[in-house]
Amino acid sequence: MALSKAEEREHAEFSNKPLPISGKRGATIIGPTNPSREAENPDTLAPPRGDHGTMANMRWSFADSHMHLEEGGWGRQTTARELPSATEVAGVNMRLTPGGVRELHWHSAAEWAYMLKGRARITAIDQDGQAFQDDVGEGDLWYFPAGIPHSIQGLEPDGCEFLLIFDDGNFSEEATFLLSDWLAHTPKEVLAKNFGVPESAFDRIPEKDLWIFQAPVPGPLAADRVVGAGPAPNTFSHRMLAQEPIRMKGGTVRITDSSLFKASKTIAAALVEIEPGGMRELHWHPNADEWQYYISGQARMTVFAAENNARTFNFQAGDVGSVPFAMGHYIENIGTTILRFLEVFRSDHYADVSLAQWLAFTPYELVRAHLHIDQSVLSKVSTRKTPVVAG
């Protein structure tokens, strides 16, 4: 039957939009809509049939985070205030221009970082005065324990952008202990007495905190080497991309925890790459909440929370996901390019439990009686962990 003109207009208007319709369930939206936001989350607008109940939000985008701008760069954060389901870990996305400095500082939480783009020089000393300097590039990590003073400076040709992880979901980057802030609140006569110099030496110190500031681009690393009381016993940096990945038919995984990166005592992570159509298998983590950062591609994740509760979320580059402790989930590549993301945990080691491996190592008759699955199906389930599976 031919559509009326009004029906044709309605069909044209909605044909390219996600709709809250699944089979015979749902209807079009005839009130106000936010098409761009709905297009980012089609599985929230029209949930899969398995979704049920009321679950906390487990998705946030850095695009919705407040941007702190300074001469020399910017920063924005995702904490438990923005994503209440992520209580164990907070994240900061930061950019430094060539020469831009995240000023000398320290934190009440440990800092773990992944370099997204560009290059930076990092410096630190430990409690014994042992010094550390290194130049880090894309795919490199660093880790500074709580209370360890350090700095970050962008290098040529285009500075850098990185992800910072703190082992406290309520931590705020604004609560950082900044050198300029401390000195601005210390009497100059006290500074003079401390350093054994005239008060006039501090006439030009900043009157307030700098946070990020612009400085000249540093020269070669060798010229910046400071011996201090000796080298730090455990290097504060690690080349994650230099690790040989675990290769599977559907993608790769690189796991970095304290077994490889000795300094990283409170953060473990995995860099996951999934081919189009592939997925991070059904699994859960028995040791910590999971915090995710999506670097590229498009993903779908369904989280099972027990008590007849499950919810599906969609992700793209710049998004953050969270999975509370022990909740079952998968992550599927629903795009046409490689899906790349970080799994981050407040732990010294990485651990997961594979649903497929669990079933493979459980007596067949028990599984068949439980799930009514034929032996021919179960025989295809690998007894090996396959964190990424092909589509």
CA dist., res. 270 & res. 368, Å (int): 34
Cβ atoms within 10 Å of 281's Cβ, excluding its own: 21
Phi, psi of 112 (to 5 degrees): -115, 145
Query: In the block, which residue shows the tokens 């300094």?
Result: 263
3-state secondary structure 119-131: CEEEEEECCCCEE
Query: In the block, which residue shows the tokens 């060798």?
Result: 222
- Give 268's Cβ-side CA count (13 Å radius): 18
3-state secondary structure 377-388: HHCCCCCCCCCE
343 is annotated as an active-site residue: yes
Q: Which of 88, 173, 290, 343 is catalytic?
A: 343
Query: How does strand 150-154 pair with strand 160-166?
Result: unpaired
Phi, psi of 209 (to 5 degrees): -65, 150
Catalytic residues: 343
